[in-house]
Amino acid sequence: MKSIARLLHRLSELPMLLAAVTLFVLMVLTFADVIMRSTFSAPIEAATELTRMAIAIIVFAALPVVSGRAEHIVVDLLDPLFRRAGVERILDGLTTLVCGVLLVWPAMRSFDLADRARSYGDLTEYLAIPVYYITWFIAFMTLVTAVTMALRGLVILFKPDLLRGAHD
């Protein structure tokens, strides 16, 4: 079981590396665009287009990892009440499981939209990049997030000791 945990930890580094590299490229692009715009009155034409794609890559690459590690933003106003009642783990597991199952719908819908964009031949405005590439990436990473959350919810419900010390 420890080897599976190590493998999953190693696999989680890949999307985070992609998000980090994309963020660095976005910072360089923004810096270059500001310099070009201010100094030469010649902004980078495709900067907006590239920024949109970069933000999508950053968000959706990190989403499965953040969800798998339960590092997303949560509202825990009622947690002390549920903790006292002894149902915090059950509620957390059910909530995570339901969220994972519900994420399947937007993932499937995104796959449909990517196929439609491909069939229409949709391209980005300046660089003529096929739109379906980024849409497929969004769909795939949303599906990975759905599976990750569903599995995490099941682990919380049925084998919570597997998560203890997972990030030490």
What percentage of the chain exceeds 90 in pLDDT? 76
Residue extents of the structural domains in the chain = 2-162
**Angle between helix 47-68 and helix 2-40 axes, rounded to 10 deg:** 160
> pLDDT band for position 161 (50/70/90)?
confident
> pLDDT band for position 165 (50/70/90)?
low
* Tens of pLDDT, residues 91-108: 999 999 999 999 999 999
CB of 152 within 8 A of CB of 70?
Answer: yes
The CA-based dihedral angle spanning residues 61, 63, 66, 72, taken in that order and rounded to the nearest 10 degrees:
140
d(CA 40, CA 32): 11
CB of 38 within 8 A of CB of 80?
Answer: no
* Tens of pLDDT, residues 117-140: 999 999 999 999 999 999 999 999
The pTM of the full predicted model, rounded to 2 decimals, is 0.89
Instruction: Tell me the two tokens of residue 31.
Output: 């810096």
CB of 25 within 8 A of CB of 54?
Answer: yes
Query: What mean pLDDT is reported for the chain?
Result: 92
